[in-house]
Structure 1
Amino acid sequence: FYECSFFFYVSIFSDAYVTIYINNNTQVQTNGCSISYYGQEYSTFYVRNQSFVNHMFICFNGYYTPDSNRDCIKAPNTENRTFLLLYDDLDTNSGTFWTNLFLSEGIPITNNITCIFFFTYYILLLTMTFLFYFFVSISCSVKGLCTVTGPTVIDFSEQINSVSDRCEYSLLHDQSTGFSLKANFLERRRRDVSFVDSLTLDFSDSDDIQLLQGHRVKVTGSPVTLTSSVQTFSGVDLSKDQTGVTANFSLDGLSMSVFFDGTTAQIYLNKSNSLTYEGLCVDSSSSSSSSCQDQYVDTGDDTIDCAVVTQQCSILKSAPFSSCNLYVDPEPYIIACRSTLCKYPSVDNLRCQFLEAYAKACEKKQVDLQNWWTTAQYHPELICEDKCSDHEFCGDIHGNTDCRCRAIFASQYTEQNRLGGPTVCQDNTASLTLVGCLLKEKSIDYTHLHLSDQTCTGVMDPDSHMLSFSFSSDSCGTEVKTNNSQVTFTNAVMTRNSSSDVITRHDKVFIEFSCSHPKPQLQNVAFKIIDNWFVTFLQSGEWKYSVTMKAYSDAAHTQLLDPKSDIRLNQKIWIVLETNGLNKDVVSVVTDSCWATSEDSPNSTPRYDLIRDGCANADDGTVNVMGNGEGTSNSFSFNMFEFSGKETSEVYLHCQLQLCVKKNNNCVPGCSFAGRRRRSLRYRRGAPALISMVWTH
């Protein structure tokens, strides 16, 4: 790959040259004037000059064909009037003439001239005995331009390939220095089309530099602030303007410039000796990738008219772009444009991205396209500078440039017709997280959202752009509901309504979410009183609480019965039932029933009731129930007994508990003054919790 400069002059020649007219395939011997091409010496080259290839190609490994990948130099061909002139065995005067000519045109000469090749356009005038040649001579120096735009890589040889997966690819790698230039490709609106998303300059022995979306730059993982003034980090000159970020550096004799604007990367290098690099910029068909993620196949977009796309992309062959066609071949950029837009919608200014990539390549060749954006109807958009998170990209949202959700990230919500979630429940609180970019795409202004209580609004994370709402069971207008199996705390995210708004342009939102306290499931646990006390944990989902039964020998509940306690018949004992993990302002614990059996099964017989329907057994005057339904704990007392006619002295005590929602409900059982029976049912009875203890007389 060569970059060529042109100059015009007139000279008079005698027979010190050999003129070869190329009208088809011609094999040329250099007659001792060997050509050094990327470290290889050649004494033979192959010239093809036919109209079907539109250029003259000088190749070193056989003749050029459109589908070949040979080492070639491409020269313009105008009406098959390109000549190859070979000068060899130059004398001193001739060498001085050529040297002075080159220097007068500003072309550096670093080696002694021994032989010269010219590829020329000519006008032949015959005057007397001399030949006058007016011709354009091409002087080439080793340079290269690699363009990565969207999913497409146009390598230094102008070969083209597309990246279809979400991977980190090596654009350039030099094993001798360890330097690597890597490009990370990610999806945007479709899951199966990837776009270059960031670049990493890996210098092996010094700081890595990342060029990111929004003209952001990180050095060794830390953000740096750039301006148009050059700042140097580890030998790399970094600068930023309104078009993008540029990194210039030299490495082992190689001068390199890397430009990235968030959509297109261009790598421009200049080196006088042979290249030892590999990667997509050297060979776009190579597949040196890492960190690849799952691939997807989306359904085709039937709204795309590929014929129209082809016509739109072919503008690169029309004015003003045509003035650059001799210097930068437009065909790879047209292919890149067409192959992408035939399966990806022409949104987010994407078509102009390929035109701009070509214009930037022309700029590197010092070709002025003279306000090309006017002809192309290109309207530059403001970038989402320092705005988008990792799961977003900068695109168009209802005519405005903003951060859109990447397709794969969004699909986990959109496939279930959700804007976020699920609800997270913990203790007596609940939270819901909504996706900021999905809200934007639905034209929902997050500042207009609130819970049932309008003072409870969401909190937007400045980095992830996730909007979080939270509430407790007794805040933000939470509604407490109960049924036979659970207690539910419900709230909703909704749009603020204002009577002063005559019109609105935003969708109304109502997202209800809730958390539940399942009522305790039946627990069949028994233990001897000599084991002191017992705790059982009841859990469902994220809600968790415990139920404890303890026995005391005094009314103040200070003398906990332990294994050495001596319990006598007709001795009064106090049983305390406690819960931990429930909100006492929202729910109460009701001891629904307690009874004793002579065996460990609560369903065994005989059975003796101490508490029925939340009230003390009226037939047993020793039973006294205290604080039942008033909070998250209660107690009762009775006089110790044993079962008559039983050989065993063990007595098992079992209690069933209910949860009662206090809001709009009286949870205290309605018992008569004499403690015989409650008057009315004030709480819902469901599947109660059973907790048991046993003691030995």
Structure 2
Amino acid sequence: MLHPLLYLCAIIGMAGAQTYIGSFGNNTVVNISSCPITYYGQQFEKLYVSRNKPTARADTKVSKPVRSTQQRKKPNLCRFDSVYELVSGLCVCNLTVTSRHLSGMTLMYNESRVVDCVNVTCDDAAVFNTSAPCGPMEHCENNTCMVDLVCTVTGPTVVEFDGTNNYIPDRCAYTLLNFSDVVVSGKFRERRRQDMSFLNSVALSVNNTYFYLEQGGIVRLNSSLQTLNSSAQDFDGVELSKDHTGVTAKSSDSNFDITVFFDGYTAQIHFKGPDLCVSPSSCDVQYNDTTDSTINCTLMTERCNVLAEAPFTACHNHTDPNPYITACNDTMCKYPSVDGLYCQFLHAYVKACNLHAYSTLGNWWTNYGCSPPKALCQDKFCSDHEFCAVASSTDEACFCRAIFASSYTSNDTLGEVTECMGSTARVTLVGCLLEEKGINYTNLHMNDANCTGRKDEQDHRVTFIFDSSDTCGAVITTNGSHLSYANSIVSSFNGSVVREYVANISFSCHFFHPDNETMSFIIKDNSVVTEVTSVFGNYTLSMKVYTDSIHTRLVESEVELNQKIWVMLETEGLEGGFVTLVIDHCWATNESSSNANLTHDLIVDSCASSADGTAEVIVNGEKTWSSFAFNMFQFSGYSGDIFLHCQLHLCDSANNRTCTPTCPVSKRRRRSSRMQYVNEAPAFITMIWSN
């Protein structure tokens, strides 16, 4: 029986075509062009005969085979593009693709193999199938499709890995990259406007170890501050380094590299790996702010569009400038052109270009009024309510965040409300508000030029304080209702030319004179305390009764008629040498009202009343406390409570002023017989304070 191929040719030969007649050797080639064979869509014009195994090779382009609905025997044929051959029942292909690894590949039927990121399969029809190669943003590395991308975060804009822009509307932390056990997030805070947020810090989490990259080149490992230099140091598998341009953190594994760069305002994440995940999430309150009418948006758009021109065109093939131009326009048309913000966008684009192609574009900044690449506010600390930026003098300074500053600017003030504590006055100015005005706190002093402010190195507040030991030139006045002392914070300069804001901040403290104070003697209480309060200052006034002249033994329970007692009126919260307490008038009544019909004077016009005979002034107008004494009595015909009332005032004793009253010398007079002790149940009395 003829072989099927020979049989077909024999039939054709019988029809009159030229017929090959001869014997076959070990390797014989028969020209069958006059009788071509079509097999699974492939036309054969030569027949190769071997005594071992036949081999078919096509010399023409393969057309796609048309499958029959009938069950066919699996052919021993391999096809891919224009070259195929059959060897020992295996598909052996010389592929016309560019990869040298696919050339001469041998596959069994239904076998698959991944080569140069291409999945190659020999199917049951002896046809090679290939998967799509790596995507447009990927490249093949170690037989894995990898990405080599840069995400840039600058101002309020995130330029994503795919070149799209995300605008951050609020003050929040956003996840910028989440891959494997590595999470990179950025925290956004407001600057000069309440409705715009800017990148403030970057956090890198690797296997639950947290690295915080903050303004000023500050780096914390969890909560521990780290000291870095330009040489990379390993911290739990993360390489950290710091130079004049910023801080770099790098985390690597067998199949990815993640590099985070932060210069204080711009962060760039360079990712090399098989896949990535970006999942921003929003939080916090969004604020509204008034439109800044001073911004020339047309001019700012022209300035931002320079990224489309030379020398930046050298980067266009691998770093699209459009997301950066859009980010620049969106920001600069809303935010004032201060703080070096415009140059920040140009630097961000050039840095992204450098990460892609290691191109620096030379000294491009000289043509745009920008400084060379450097980290903003390197090693300069700003508190949480501040942000660091370039001042008008090109120096870096800490300025107030808009939300924090709003409570001060709405009241047109530079600091806190004056604190009045007794004879001490304290004024605290906010350091970043002084920076806004261009005021150098070292040039400020009170009326006395030697009294300067002290700056807190943590929150940068500047405090001015004076007290009775050093009034710092305070002016002290008094009238019928209150005592006042005033001072000023002013600027001082050397020379005849001034180029900064001249400060003149006045502040004062006022203390109301005490109202009439009333004490009633009932049973057991030996002292009463009240607090004299005003919107200007507070102090405490107390009245205590003792049984000895040195004020050591308080009345415990009972006092006999005609027993001598010492009454002490004392303030707390006022410092001696600055103000003193003066008793004007003390009198007793048989009712709680100080205007009762039945009264008895003990102190009149700051001196002992001659009507009592036992009263004497011990201390009055010399200190922040006063004292007097008298012998206990009761009203004739009354066995009820006795109420003691005292009227006092504060006296300015600074600058050697005399507050001690001058009293006439008089003899004591004995009380009348009705005040003497009588043979009846003794009166037991206690003092309480009655307002």
1:387 match: 380
**Which of residues 587, 590, 606 is equivalent to 1:598?**
590
Residue 201 of structure 1 deviates from its aligned partner by 0.7
2:56 match: none
1:279 match: 279
2:257 match: 255
**Equivalent residue letter for 2:594:** P
2:683 match: none
The answer to whether the Cα contact below 8 Å between 1:472 and 1:478 also exists between their aligned partners in 2 is no
The answer to whether the Cα contact below 8 Å between 1:459 and 1:468 also exists between their aligned partners in 2 is yes
Taking the TM superposition and a 5 Å limit, the aligned residue runs for 1:434-449 are 434-449=429-444
1:350 match: 341
**Equivalent residue letter for 2:310:** A
Residue 184 of structure 1 deviates from its aligned partner by 0.6
Q: Deviations over 1:455-501 (max 9, x none)?
A: 22211222322222221134123333222222223222222355xx2
Residue 640 of structure 1 deviates from its aligned partner by 4.2
1:53 match: none
Q: Deviations over 1:211-263 (max 9, x none)?
A: 11122211112221221111111111112222222111125733211111122
Q: Deviations over 1:373-397 (max 9, x none)?
A: 3454533376311214133323232
Tell me, in whole angstroms, the C-alpha distance in 2 between the residues paired with 1:88 and 1:256. 43
1:538 match: 532
Taking the TM superposition and a 5 Å limit, the aligned residue runs for 1:621-636 are 621-636=613-628
* Distance of aligned partners of 1:116 and 1:576 in 2 relative to their CA distance in 1, 3 Å threshold: closer
**Unaligned 5+ runs, structure 1:** 1-13, 19-28, 32-85, 103-107, 120-136, 281-287, 677-691
2:231 match: 229
Residue 87 of structure 1 deviates from its aligned partner by 6.3
Residue 643 of structure 1 deviates from its aligned partner by 2.8
Tell me, in whole angstroms, the C-alpha distance in 2 between the residues paired with 1:306 and 1:359. 23
Residue 151 of structure 1 deviates from its aligned partner by 0.9
The answer to whether the Cα contact below 8 Å between 2:515 and 2:648 also exists between their aligned partners in 1 is no
* Distance of aligned partners of 1:143 and 1:559 in 2 relative to their CA distance in 1, 3 Å threshold: closer
2:155 match: 150
**Equivalent residue letter for 1:254:** F
Residue 657 of structure 1 deviates from its aligned partner by 2.1
Tell me, in whole angstroms, the C-alpha distance in 1 between the residues paired with 2:571 and 2:541. 5
Residue 323 of structure 1 deviates from its aligned partner by 2.9
1:417 match: 412
Tell me, in whole angstroms, the C-alpha distance in 2 between the residues paired with 1:218 and 1:534. 55
**Quick check: 1:487 aligned with 2:490?**
no
Tell me, in whole angstroms, the C-alpha distance in 1 between the residues paired with 2:184 and 2:408. 35
Q: Deviations over 1:104-161 (max 9, x none)?
A: xxxx975678459899xxxxxxxxxxxxxxxxx9998533221112111121221112
**Quick check: 1:187 aligned with 2:198?**
no
Tell me, in whole angstroms, the C-alpha distance in 2 between the residues paired with 1:276 and 1:201. 15
Residue 165 of structure 1 deviates from its aligned partner by 1.0
Tell me, in whole angstroms, the C-alpha distance in 2 between the residues paired with 1:641 and 1:348. 78
Tell me, in whole angstroms, the C-alpha distance in 2 between the residues paired with 1:619 and 1:183. 82
**Equivalent residue letter for 1:362:** C
The answer to whether the Cα contact below 8 Å between 1:201 and 1:209 also exists between their aligned partners in 2 is yes
1:362 match: 353
Tell me, in whole angstroms, the C-alpha distance in 1 between the residues paired with 2:351 and 2:646. 82
**Quick check: 1:199 aligned with 2:202?**
yes
1:63 match: none
Residue 587 of structure 1 deviates from its aligned partner by 2.2
* Distance of aligned partners of 1:338 and 1:165 in 2 relative to their CA distance in 1, 3 Å threshold: same
**Equivalent residue letter for 1:238:** L
**Quick check: 1:668 aligned with 2:665?**
no
Q: Deviations over 1:429-463 (max 9, x none)?
A: 22222222322332222211112222222112223
* Distance of aligned partners of 1:550 and 1:235 in 2 relative to their CA distance in 1, 3 Å threshold: same
Tell me, in whole angstroms, the C-alpha distance in 1 between the residues paired with 2:62 and 2:196. 55
The answer to whether the Cα contact below 8 Å between 1:650 and 1:694 also exists between their aligned partners in 2 is no
Q: Which has the larger radius of gyration?
A: 2
The answer to whether the Cα contact below 8 Å between 2:544 and 2:554 also exists between their aligned partners in 1 is no
1:283 match: none
**Equivalent residue letter for 1:170:** T
**Quick check: 1:617 aligned with 2:642?**
no
Q: Deviations over 1:614-668 (max 9, x none)?
A: 2233344333333322323333344444333x25354333222222222364322
1:26 match: none
Bigger CA drift: 628-637 or 310-319? 628-637
The answer to whether the Cα contact below 8 Å between 2:264 and 2:377 also exists between their aligned partners in 1 is no
**Equivalent residue letter for 1:297:** N
1:316 match: 307
Tell me, in whole angstroms, the C-alpha distance in 1 between the residues paired with 2:557 and 2:119. 111
1:126 match: none
SS in 1 for 2:301: helix
**Equivalent residue letter for 2:248:** T
1:10 match: none
Taking the TM superposition and a 5 Å limit, the aligned residue runs for 1:378-527 are 378-380=370-372, 383-389=376-382, 390-403=384-397, 404-475=399-470, 476-496=472-492, 498=494, 501-527=495-521
Tell me, in whole angstroms, the C-alpha distance in 2 between the residues paired with 1:651 and 1:98. 114
SS in 1 for 2:510: strand
Residue 563 of structure 1 deviates from its aligned partner by 2.5
The answer to whether the Cα contact below 8 Å between 2:518 and 2:644 also exists between their aligned partners in 1 is no
1:165 match: 170
Determine what percentage of the aligned residue pairs are the same residue. Answer: 42
2:32 match: none
Bigger CA drift: 232-241 or 309-318? 309-318
**Equivalent residue letter for 2:184:** L
Aligned residue pairs, count: 560
* Distance of aligned partners of 1:537 and 1:322 in 2 relative to their CA distance in 1, 3 Å threshold: closer
* Distance of aligned partners of 1:694 and 1:395 in 2 relative to their CA distance in 1, 3 Å threshold: closer
TM-score w.r.t. the length of structure 2 is: 0.73
Tell me, in whole angstroms, the C-alpha distance in 1 between the residues paired with 2:659 and 2:160. 78
Tell me, in whole angstroms, the C-alpha distance in 1 between the residues paired with 2:527 and 2:297. 78
TM-score w.r.t. the length of structure 1 is: 0.72
2:71 match: none
The answer to whether the Cα contact below 8 Å between 1:170 and 1:289 also exists between their aligned partners in 2 is no
Residue 512 of structure 1 deviates from its aligned partner by 2.0
**Equivalent residue letter for 2:428:** T
SS in 2 for 1:526: strand
Tell me, in whole angstroms, the C-alpha distance in 1 between the residues paired with 2:159 and 2:252. 23
* Distance of aligned partners of 1:643 and 1:278 in 2 relative to their CA distance in 1, 3 Å threshold: same
The answer to whether the Cα contact below 8 Å between 1:324 and 1:369 also exists between their aligned partners in 2 is no
1:61 match: none
